[in-house]
Amino acid sequence: MLILDVILMLVSGLLIILALLQSGKSEGISSAFTGSGGLNLFANAKERGPEKVIANITLVLGLVFFALVILIRVI
């Protein structure tokens, strides 16, 4: 059980770091409130290169985090 807690802390730390490394897809929160620039949530913004790798690793770590939380709760 202790090993699962340590793995969960490592995964959550990496998840936070990778989420902060991702570039913003919009102009920022101020443009959402002021209405400047079109805020289109369904725009096709394709990620390429390192951005795609970081996004995929973040997705996988998110799924691992979810599975670990469920596993720790059940045990």
Over residues 35-74, the pLDDT tens digits come to 555 555 555 667 788 899 999 999 999 999 999 999 999 9
pLDDT tens for 23-32 read 776 655 555 5
pLDDT at 1 over 60: yes
- pTM (two decimals): 0.70
**How far apart are the C-alpha atoms of 41 and 39, rounded to whole Å?**
6
Helix residue ranges, H only, 1-75: 2-21, 29-34, 50-74
The reported pLDDT for the residue numbered 48 is 83
pLDDT at 33 over 70: no
